[in-house]
A and B are shown apart, each in its own frame.
Chain A
Amino acid sequence: MIVPRLGFGLGLRPPYYEAARAGTPDVDWWEVISENFLVAGGNPRRVLREVCARAPVVLHGVSLSIGSVDPIDDDYLGRLAALVAEVEPPIVSDHLCWSALGGHAAHDLWPLPYTDEALAVVVDKVGRVQDRLGRRILLENPSSYVTFTASHIPEAEFLAEVARRADCGILLDVNNVYVSATNHGWDAAAYLAALPVERVGQIHLAGHSDHGTHLLDTHDHPVCDAVWALYGDAVARFGDVATMIERDDHLPALDELIAELDHARAIARAPGATVRQAAGG
């Protein structure tokens, strides 16, 4: 598995467009939501062109619906392929979830039952997507709020098996591990231990909301202490993987996110953190 060493990045959201266009030395790379840039022109496309000229930009999608029994949306995949060709991103990712059925979109990341049947569906569709894009993709572990009676494979083992069989990478969302582990009583350390080191190519950090009965992955708070601690464990296992802060709501001043990014840098450089050998871009 080839893991690009990008450093520390942020999600590119409209309040940060001007800074990103001008160049931000403290942000090594930017992640964009692919769907927001699958448009013909105007400001989104201008911003993307200009930011791409200054820093690496990775594509993070929400619409592949890789676990749905629906066929892959060829129109979407074609547009994504064109965006990939234009941006030449070091990483292209989406989620281990499903988000469409019968031609209707959920606009959400719905959880899969972790069964042999679902595993076969995901592996097959990842293969088709990678063939169309001509490159590996990374799949992100989701936050979830239910478990299914049908599931008989632990989520981390399911994701690891998808990555091995489909020859894709893993985007490890440390906050999602924490949220799902808390919601379902999973062992977060065991979750990390079940993921193959060589397959993890990117890490997401984010904040969540506590709703009493469950944690909700809202991306509207700073990263909490427990997630920072888990990130330390992740860095110890997976090394200096490209890491970013995801913030989608209650967007703070850029300096505040850069301070969080610096905290991630400090954890990744602390004694005990593993430095992985770069295997190229």
Chain B
Amino acid sequence: MAELAALQRQFYDRVVSGADGDALIASGSLEVYASMYAIRLHDALADDYPKLRSALGAEAFAALVPAYLREHPPHAFTLRELGAALPGWLRTAASPPWAADLATLERARMEVFDAADAPALTQAEAIALGDALPELHLRWVPASVVVPLAWAVDDLWSALEDEQDCFEPAAGPRVVLVWRRDLAVLHRTLDADEAPLAPLIAGGARFAEICEQLAAQHGEAAGARAAELLLRWLAAGALAAP
């Protein structure tokens, strides 16, 4: 495959990196392929990160795409994976400090969109457990991601969703739960006492453990607070059926 391999390497380097390759061709223009490559990958990332693009501006977003692709060229058969490393890459790039968090939230929503289906635990099913409820292992539905953030990009996300102007989000740690109920992708910023519970539930904690965790903060009111949160999660369709 020596000649074919050499041709394909030269073609790839010309199209992706702008190296010389015109000796390969008898007619036409390799620039057509180079242009389509750049446009297609830019557009795929823009589709996956519409809020980030709005927040940074189309020009700034377009400028960061080639820099990202130099470090993270497409490696998967599906364009779905093209932007998987973008949130992490933004933490090292010359971009606003909150940009990585906004990308993290958008990526989580994208992953949840077509994650595995599973029935949600209903309130009736939970109530039917009766005395066995403390032993129930709580788990988020498979189509969910717990997203720790350092900036209030959930507020920025909502503003951009409502087509308001971009603003710099406030700094401050928070945890956002992203999940899918039926076909709708949802996210919610967790309450201060709820946030530490999210990774426990991701690990399949028993309801009794959730109550114990809350006791440190709420004392005798922990049971009532645990019940309130459980009803909230059940109503949201965020817990998986056992």
**A contact residues, range:** 35 or more
Given A42-B115, A110-B11, A117-B4, verify A105-B28 contact (CB < 8 Å): no
Distance between Cα atoms of A44 and B40 in the complex (Å): 22
Least CB distance from B8 to A in Å reads 5
Least CB distance from A162 to B in Å reads 14
Binding site secondary structure of chain A: mixed
Q: Number of contacts between A and B (CB, 8 Å)? A: 127
Chain A residues whose C-beta falls within 8 Å of the C-beta of B116 in the assembled complex: 40-41
Does B78 contact A102, Cβ atoms closer than 8 Å?
no
Distance between Cα atoms of A107 and B28 in the complex (Å): 20
Does B73 contact A69, Cβ atoms closer than 8 Å?
no
Chain B residues whose C-beta falls within 8 Å of the C-beta of A100 in the assembled complex: 77
Q: Choose from A44, A63, A117, A146 the contact partner of B25 (Cβ within 8 Å).
A: A146
User: Would you call A135 an interface residue if the criterion is a C-beta within 8 Å of the partner chain's C-beta atoms?
Assistant: no
Least CB distance from A145 to B in Å reads 4
Q: Choose from B32, B75, B142 the contact partner of A216 (Cβ within 8 Å).
A: B32
Q: Choose from B1, B11, B36 the contact partner of A117 (Cβ within 8 Å).
A: B1
Cβ < 8 Å to B, chain A residues 161-184: 183-184
User: Would you call B103 an interface residue if the criterion is a C-beta within 8 Å of the partner chain's C-beta atoms?
Assistant: no
Given A104-B75, A107-B40, A121-B1, verify A44-B114 contact (CB < 8 Å): yes
User: Would you call B44 an interface residue if the criterion is a C-beta within 8 Å of the partner chain's C-beta atoms?
Assistant: yes
Does A213 contact B29, Cβ atoms closer than 8 Å?
yes
Least CB distance from A47 to B in Å reads 10
Chain B residues whose C-beta falls within 8 Å of the C-beta of A144 in the assembled complex: 28
Given A102-B12, A107-B41, A108-B36, verify A118-B4 contact (CB < 8 Å): yes
User: Would you call B92 an interface residue if the criterion is a C-beta within 8 Å of the partner chain's C-beta atoms?
Assistant: no
Complex: chain A residue closest to B32, CB-CB: A145
Point out residues on A near B: beta carbons under 8 Å. Answer: 35, 38-46, 63, 68-69, 73, 75-76, 98, 100-108, 110, 113, 115, 117-118, 121, 144-151, 183-185, 213-214, 216
17 A-B pairs whose Cβ atoms sit less than 8 Å apart in the complex:
A40-B117, A41-B142, A42-B115, A42-B117, A43-B114, A44-B114, A45-B117, A46-B183, A98-B8, A104-B73, A107-B44, A113-B4, A113-B7, A117-B1, A145-B33, A146-B30, A147-B26
Point out residues on B near A: beta carbons under 8 Å. Answer: 1, 3-5, 7-9, 11-12, 15-16, 23-30, 32-33, 36-37, 40-41, 44, 73-80, 82, 113-118, 142-143, 180, 183
